[in-house]
Amino acid sequence: MKLSIYQIDAFAEKAFEGNPAAVVPLEEWLPDEVMQSIAEENNLAETAFFVPTDSGFYIRWFTPKDEVELCGHATLASAFVLFNCLGYEKHRVSFDSLSGELTVTPNGECLTLDFPNQMPAPCEAPRALVDGLGIEPIACLANQDYMAVFSSEEEIVAIQPDYRMLEHLDRRGLIVTAPGKKSDFVARFFAPKLGVPEDPVTGSAYTHLTPYWAEKLGKAKLSAIQISPRTGKLQCEVKGDRVLISGTAVKYLEGSITV
């Protein structure tokens, strides 16, 4: 069986920036083990698969090790493929998913994700988190991921994680964040137990980060930079129980795979 595949740099202004995601459009689902094998073969943070439905599409995301319930950059990449490669003509694309309905709307040069607001709750920092980062955060919160807050961008840049220690965390991954110098806030994201030691730009993490920093800074619209080696820029907004996350994307690769 031959399948189309695209590799899109999401939250990127040019190739080799942002977070690369593979996108495999399907007419019907493949067996889960085949989709997982494709994701492992791609060896990217996420491979997205989607199939058409009566209302739009159903989307699923796989890391090299497991399926996840929510992924931002691969959803942005999937919408980019639909709008720019597959001739999708509606103004907005709707994806059903394990996290409910997710929509993506073109907004100038950007695509805007409409995702659930996942405000994290304060918690005690697990010992594996502190030991894994080698530094004590000024605050720790949790929802789908742990979020460790620091006082400066310099501290975020300097973190050199012990990934083996972070694998012991009982959440999907770990966000580290602080106020930014050229943006409202900065962040990094680690998910070693999913086969993603450091994710270049993590759209779903901003469902945690946006409501937290909106409350801290007293503003609904914020700018963010994920300061991984590839770097990604995002515009974020809280709208009640939803979070809008906007960014640009570019196509790096278009081809086919045989399974």
Catalytically active residues, by annotation: 46
The residue behind tokens 């791609």 is 42
In sequence order, what are the residues at sequence separation of 6 or more whose Cβ sits closer than 8 angstroms to the Cβ of residue 108?
none
Q: Which residue type does 80 have? A: F
Q: Are 77 and 18 in contact (CB under 8 A)?
A: no
User: Which pair of structure tokens corresponds to residue 68?
Assistant: 């996840």
Give the β-pairing of 19-25 and 46-52: parallel
Q: Are 160 and 134 in contact (CB under 8 A)?
A: yes
Does an H or E element contain 81, and which? Answer: helix 73-84
CA distance 68 to 63: 7
Which residues are registered as beta bridge partners of 234? 224
